[in-house]
Structure 1
Amino acid sequence: MWNAEVSSVPKEPHSCFIPLLKKFLGIAQRHKTFKSRAMITAAEYGETSWELAVHVDQKHGDESMKFKMRVKGDLHIGGLMLKLVEKIKAPQDWSDHALWWDQRKCWLLKTHWTLDKYGIQADADLRYTPQHKPLLLQLPNMKTVKMTVSFSSVVFKAVSEICQTLNIRRSEELSLLKPPYDPSKKKKKKDKNSAHDDIWDIDLLSGGPGGTGPMYSKTMTATYDPENGMPVSATSLWFGENPLAECQPNLPPAELAKMYQQLSLVDKANNNAGWLNSSRSLMEQDIQDEEKLLLRFKYNVFFDLNPKYDAVRITQLYEQARWAILLEEIDCTDEEMLMFASLQYHICKLTMSSEPLDHSNEPEIDEVEAALSNLEVTLEGGHTDRILEDITDIPELADTLRLFRPKRLTLRPYKEYWFVFKDTTISYYKNKEASIGEPIEQFHLRGCEVVPDVNVTDKKFGIKLLLPVADGMNEVYIRCDNETQYAKWKAACILASKGKTMAYSSYKSEVKNIQSFLQMKSLAPPPGHAAPDLDAMEMNAECFVSTRYAKKHKTKQLTARILEAHQNIAGLSLMEAKMRFIQAWQSLPEFGINYYIVRFKGGKRMRFWESHTTV
């Protein structure tokens, strides 16, 4: 039986496996060939190249050109631009062009870096585009200018170059802001065309790209004093002749009403979110050619305002403050609105009547004497901020004031106490005789916020103190009896909030500024002045107040009140009036407050957050 089974097996048992073996041998041969090819590719990896597409932007609205170049990973950016220019074969200046990577939204400005170091591969989309492009800038005076701006530099540096062109010192105080979104403007195509008619092309006037007119001298470079940053006398005339130093005329009430929009807290927060990032370039923040941006003073801290050398800066500050009042971007009382209106009327009147700026009548200054005086002040420490010779002789304030601490469900009025202000601390006692003992309470004012609570017409002179505590801010109201008392105590509170005492000589100047501010807010004419003539005001009074305030009063009534308030400031010069307007704007309670929409960790709802940008 066994033998029969064995005999049934074929004589060549491997013959049935021959096709299968051939199949496996074929697969092995193909795998060997593929492996050898793969090994060759890996060995020759450094010598391989690929095609890279680069779009070249043209000027004057021409369509961009597209070029494909075969490159290697070890090619540096400078070599890539050189190959591209050789391939374009166009005789023009390419020095301002640079490569922009669309996918990564970044400039390839490090020309010594290779493509591999940047991570550029065949799928990269590069643009060879100018670094300086035209941009529309709305200045604080609502005037729109067109100028060439660097789109590759960070915004901080770009703003510095803009301010240098416009002759505005302290460029760090300004920044660029996206205009608030207005859906109604999409439907108004005619307004867009009419707006372009009012654009002032700086490049044409300054002899820049496309222009030859010498508005700003390119050969005359402003030389600044290294001590205080002021331009020397040789260029002071050049700085004074800048047309941007002139105030813009007030708009008619109808035009002002079109611009007015009632702003809610959400609107204010959204507008504040439009500030560009100062550490990134314009292209990195999706800003396009000829897009409109707002140039504004951002940080509300204005250093070293000098009327002689800062004509443009002061005028633009005044214009930003004026429009903030007229458009009610910052709240103010009716009394303050009339004060601002009288200052505007005075400035407008002087601007229309004044002749072009002439420095020939100014007394000549001996440069050597001025330099020696400056050196003497520097070596002696100066007298403006010098502390009293005896550091222990720090002035004190002691007087009877009224105190009120707001609490819920209370109608308790102000209560009189004896107050003593020493160093940076306020102590109050039951009466003067009790001041030799322990005080009822002490207020440490370092880091606090001082908010005026004043109504000159109603003889209300109050100071609101926001004292920092662990769980927030404590509110304290102090009421003074008269203007003199209010000026002294408020000036002391302002210095104490900055950690300074009344020993600083700036205390006296602060008191004078507060007194002059109260005098401006007084609507009653000075003694000995006759009632104002309503026909003497040739301008429309409604141009100097906000639209909402103009609706409250009749035109004749508004004119009479503005003229009465104007008599208190009629003796101010043009630059003094602008400075007073800026100081009054800074003294408003809401000045320097910005709003943000935030979401706290673990919270479901968004909330508003206030931030103060003043120091």
Structure 2
Amino acid sequence: MIANGHIVGDGSWDLRVFVTDLQTERLIRVKGDVHIGGVMLRLVEDLEISMDWSDHALWWPEQNIWLTRTRSTLDQCGVHADALLHFTPMHKNLRVQLPDLRYLEMRVDFSIKTFSTVAQVCKELGVRHPEELSFCKPLEPNHLKYNYKDMPKKRYDQNGTQKNGHIPSDTNTFIANSSPVGSTGSLDKSPFMCAPVTPSRPPPSSTPIGTPVGNSGTWKKNGFGSDSNGTLNYSGNVTSSLSSEQLNGTFDSSLAHSPPSPYPEARRHLIRPKSLVEKARMNVAWLDSSLSIMEQGVREHDTLCLKFKFYVFYDLNPKYDAIRINQIYEQAKWQLLNEEIDCTEEEMLMFAALQLQIKLQANQPQLSIDSNGTAPSPVEDDIDAALNNLQTTLEGSSINTFSNDITQVPELKDQLRFLKPKRFTLKAYKKYWFTCRDLHLFMYKSREEMMHGQNAVFNINLKGCEVTPDVNISQNKYVIKLEVPSSDGMSEMYIRCDDETQYARWMACCRLAAKGRSLADSSYESEKQTILDFLYLQKRAEEPVINPNTLDIQVEDFIAPKYLKKSKGKLTQRILEAHANVKDLNLIDAKMNYIKAWQLLPEYGITLFVVKFMNSRKEELLGVAYNRIMKMDINSGDHQKTWRFNTMKAWNVNWENKHMMVQFEEENIVFSCLSADCKVVHEFIGGYIFLSTRSKDASQTLNEELFHKLTGGWS
């Protein structure tokens, strides 16, 4: 029987396809054995419009997936007669906020995994090592009020609009359709909700870099995830177009130097966490690197934030990384000003002084690096750098710093003050003789006992300890806080040094020993010098080198809100006094010093999550760092237990009940994550394991397959 030109009963049916560029729907007569590529070919032939469709693919809104495997059949993809597919460009406009809070309008691939999209964006921006960055969704104050599992849910119809006539779907809706490859039912099909938010209005304009891309959908794919000319642009009304060569030159000079102050709209959208729990809740916004951004509720013209996610900056080289260094500096700056990471008042003034020097140097010609980001005399500079590195390595690895006998194991010996606090008792520091040898700290009552190695009062294995500074230079306070693993958790101990030199020696020693490195390690001398430099930068000069009346310093742009209680004039004076210590630094050195000082803060590089451990009813804090995970007190942040990655055997997730299990040599831990999906924690752990495989001896090709194997939830 024939009806409408088709044989009825032959197994064929009409497939509805909506062409987004033309805003029209077409019916394609198909069978279940038709390949996806065949469907697109028939559709293009039926449209009879001469244009480039090479960047188009089929998107299935109901199932929230791309049908990009062109050789798969409709039956294999599960597409039936009631399905509505969208024929839409894979490359779409995305509004990207950089770490310095600027917005870029970019043409990115919405159909590939987020990890690959970030790599393409970074290549286009000239940022090396894209594996250190990722996309996260913009947050609003409401997002800090709830844990992930307690957030109010919204219901959406199949077109992505909210039912019951309320606001449309916001950009903080994470929707995952299917499990990560190889896992067992991860992420369900339910929406991932950050919290109800109001749609944010974009700033009306920003500094233009290129021409906004039209919506004609005539773009071709290339290696950068942009249009055929590699065009990207700042949001705003722009009329001029730039070639890729001009564009690259513009980016070198623009992204490596941020504006003196961000766009007011961007700053107003910053949220400031007021507790450790709120800091943990901010990590709900990270996208899943194993899914495309389209699968996570992101649509064309939405905003995503590009941020450094993993705090291990590999091969940070001023010659090649002017843009990368600037964006790391900017992220560090806003973390401090936004109180996402704590520091003391003296440290805050030091950071403000460095920020002021960077601001002053930004307007000065820089002789050390030319417009291409390379030194004027590369041959001489490479030789000098190689000689300096060789000298540092030889000096740092020499155990003769401690002993003239090359057969002896290096050790430190000193008289220090010690305190082990106890409940309900007030005890003062008492003097003891200390020696550190083979990762162990020994404490003796007398120098004679120390020299003979007899009757040690304490023997502390420093490996696996948490080492935290407690320093106040103006009060001559140089204290090392040790949290030592014990059967009852972590025991606190305090070692007080007499001066900064003694403190630097012992702090460097304890930090390296906690990582399992002895005093013979080549990095000991550089670690000690870094600590001394950090302390020097915090010292107050007798008088500033700049007249306060010649500068208009808005102190709120330099100082975190909790330190703004003093008068503006006094704070300005303190900033200028601190600035005297850094007045001779050029632009890149000032940024590098800022980054190094940021890395020395106790809270640096620790990503927090609210969790519940198995067989425990109370909420606790989990901190994930580059080399360990920590169980922490949810109110004070004190460390209760530390597990090092070098003792980890496996980590996996039970996707049915969202419990994560991490197996260590000493024990197994099981917990559920309350402040984010367990996939986020899984990805942080796997990501740091992935980053630890990088070395100068290894291939510098980005191994995406290994990254997804370690982070994607594979069983």
Instruction: Identify the TM-score tier after normalising by the shorter chain.
Output: 0.7 to 0.9
CA–CA distance in structure 2, aligned partners of residues 169 and 124 of structure 1: 42
| 1:196 maps to 2:224 | no
Counterpart of 1:546 in structure 2: which amino acid? Answer: A
2:478 aligned counterpart, secondary structure:
strand
Asked if 1:489 is matched to 2:506, the reply is: yes
Task: Name the residue aligned to 1:53.
Answer: 16
Contact 1:176 1:294 in 2 (8 A): yes
SS at match of 1:323: helix
Aligned to 1:150: 109
Indicate the SS of the match to 1:502: coil
**Residue 477 of structure 1 aligns to a residue in which SS?**
strand
Give the Å deviation of 1:260: 6.2
The one of 238, 243, 251 aligned to 2:254:
243
- Aligned counterpart, 1:274: 285
For 2:492, what is the secondary structure of its paired residue?
strand
Write out aligned runs for 1:214-225 (5 A). 214=242, 216-217=244-245
Of residues 595, 598, 603, the one that matches 1:585 is: 598
Give the C-alpha shift of residue 266 in structure 1.
3.6
CA distance, structure 2, for counterparts of residue 508 and residue 605 of structure 1: 43
Q: Is the 8 A contact 1:132 1:150 kept in 2?
A: yes
Q: State whether structure 2 residue 363 is matched by structure 1 residue 352.
A: yes
Which of these residues, 18, 22, 41, is aligned with residue 82 of structure 1?
41
Measure the CA separation in 2 of the matches of 1:359 and 1:553: 41
Q: Following superposition of structure 1 onto structure 2, how do residues 515-534 of structure 1 map, counting pairs within 5 Å?
A: 515-525=532-542, 533-534=547-548
| Contact 1:102/1:126 (8 A) holds in 2 | yes
Distance, in Å, in 2 between the alignment partners of 1:209 and 1:290 is 16
1:342 matched to 2:364? The reply is no
Say whether 1:294 aligns with 2:305. Answer: yes
Within the alignment, does 1:170 sit opposite 2:122 as a pair? no
3-state DSSP of counterpart to 2:576: helix
How far did residue 365 of structure 1 move?
Answer: 3.2
CA distance, structure 2, for counterparts of residue 139 and residue 215 of structure 1: 22
1:557 alignment partner in structure 2 = 570
Q: In the TM superposition, what is the alpha-carbon distance from 1:215 to its structure 2 partner? A: 6.3
Q: Deviations over 1:469-522 (max 9, x none)?
A: 455322221111100001111111121122211212221111111111100111
Instruction: Deviation per CA, 1:46-96: give whole Å up to 9, x if none.
Output: 9521221111211xxx6x221111111111111111111111212111111
Give secondary structure in 2 for the equivalent of 1:597: strand
Question: How far apart are the structure 2 equivalents of 1:441 and 1:50?
Answer: 81
Secondary structure at the aligned position of 1:149 is classed as: strand
In the aligned structure 2, how far is the partner of 1:48 from the partner of 1:251?
60
1:327-373: CA deviation from partner (whole Å, max 9, x where unpaired): 11111111111111111111111112346964699543349x96999
Cα distance in 2 for partners of 1:146, 1:485 equals 52
Cα distance, 1:305 vs. partner? Answer: 0.9
* DSSP-derived class of the 2:285 partner: coil
Matched residues in 1 for 2:415 and 2:494: separation? 14
TM-score (ref. length: structure 1): 0.79
With over 3 angstroms needed to count, the CA separation of the structure-2 counterparts of 1:542 and 1:100, relative to structure 1, is closer
SS at match of 1:457: helix
Please tell me whether residue 535 in structure 1 is matched to residue 538 in structure 2.
no
- Which whole-Å CA distance do the structure 2 matches of 1:191 and 1:177 have between them? 15
1:208 aligns to what? Answer: 230
Percentage identity across paired residues of the two chains: 41
Which runs of structure 2 are paired with 1:100-499 in the superposition (5 Å)?
100-182=59-141, 192=201, 195-198=203-206, 200=208, 207-208=229-230, 213-214=241-242, 216-217=244-245, 241-250=252-261, 259=270, 261-354=272-365, 358=370, 363-366=376-379, 383=394, 392-435=407-450, 436=452, 437-499=454-516
More helix by share: 1
Mapped partners of 1:500, 1:201: distance in 2: 48
Residues 544 and 579, structure 2, Cα contact 8 Å, conserved in 1: no
Structure 1: distance between partners of 2:198 and 2:68: 38
CA distance in 2, matches of 1:90, 1:209: 25
Shift of 1:427: 1.1
Q: TM-score, normalised by structure 2?
A: 0.69
> Counterpart of 1:478 in structure 2: which amino acid?
I
Aligned residue pairs, count: 544
Q: Distance in 2 between matches of 1:106 and 1:254?
A: 34
SS class of match (1:426): strand
Q: Does 1:72 align with 2:28?
A: no
**Is the CA contact 2:141–2:271 (under 8 Å) kept in the aligned structure 1?**
no
**Pair 1:431–1:189, CA change in 2 (3 A):** closer
Extract unaligned runs of 5+ from structure 1: 1-43, 221-237
Larger mean CA deviation between 384-393 and 88-97 belongs to 384-393
Shift of 1:166: 0.7
CA contact (8 A) 1:135 1:146 kept: yes
Q: Judging changes above 3 Å, is the alpha-carbon distance between structure 1 residues 530 and 199 closer, same or farther for their aligned structure 2 residues?
A: closer
Distance 1:213 1:598 in 2: 50
Q: State which drifts further: 414-423 or 246-255.
A: 246-255
Name the Cα RMSD after superposition.
3.8
Which shows bigger deviation, 159-168 or 424-433?
A: 424-433
Change (3 A) 1:569 1:141: same
The letter of the residue matching 2:506 is W
2:585 aligned to which of 530, 547, 572: 572
CA distance in 2, matches of 1:179, 1:442: 49
Q: Report how far residue 468 of structure 1 moved.
A: 3.1
Contact 2:231 2:247 in 1 (8 A): no
For residues 558 and 215 of structure 1, do their structure 2 counterparts lie closer, same or farther at Cα, with a shift above 3 Å needed?
Answer: farther
The AA in structure 1 aligned to 2:201 is: K
Larger radius of gyration: 1
Note if contact 2:58-2:66 (Cα within 8 Å) is conserved in structure 1.
Answer: yes
**Contact kept? 2:105, 2:232, Cα under 8 Å:** no
* Cα distance change, pair 609–560 in 1 and its aligned pair in 2 (3 A): same
Tell me how far apart the structure 1 counterparts of residues 101 and 265 of structure 2 sit (CA, whole Å): 17
The 2-side partners of 1:604 and 1:124 are apart by: 45
Q: 1:244 to 1:601 in 2, by over 3 A?
A: same
Unaligned stretches of 5+ residues in structure 2: 1-6, 144-166, 171-195, 214-225, 234-239, 629-715
Q: Is the 8 A contact 2:396 2:526 kept in 1?
A: no
Partner SS for 2:71: coil
- For residues 112 and 94 of structure 1, do their structure 2 counterparts lie closer, same or farther at Cα, with a shift above 3 Å needed? same
Which secondary structure state, in structure 1, belongs to the residue aligned with residue 609 of structure 2?
strand
* Aligned-residue offset at 1:214: 3.6
Contact 2:18 2:25 (8 Å CA) reproduced: yes
CA offset at residue 104 of structure 1?
A: 2.2
Question: Cα–Cα, structure 1 residues 257 and 273, in superposed 2: closer, same or farther, change >3 Å?
Answer: closer
Report the Cα distance in structure 1 between the residues aligned to 2:556 and 2:271, rounded to whole angstroms: 13
Asked if structure 2 preserves the Cα contact closer than 8 Å seen for 1:594 and 1:613, the reply is no
Paired residue secondary structure (1:599) = strand
TM-aligned CA distance change 1:496 to 1:203, over 3 Å? farther
When residues 45 and 265 of structure 1 are mapped into structure 2, their CA distance, relative to the original with a 3 A threshold, is: farther
Aligned residue in 1 for 2:162 = none
Maintained 8 Å contact 1:260/1:547: no
**Cα distance in 2 for residues equivalent to 1:189 and 1:287:** 15
User: Matches of 2:399 and 2:314 in 1, distance apart?
Assistant: 24
Matching residue's letter, 1:217: E
SS at match of 2:327: helix
Q: Residue 420 of structure 1 contacts residue 427 of structure 1 at CA under 8 Å; is this kept in 2?
A: yes
Residues 147 and 202, structure 1, Cα contact 8 Å, conserved in 2: no
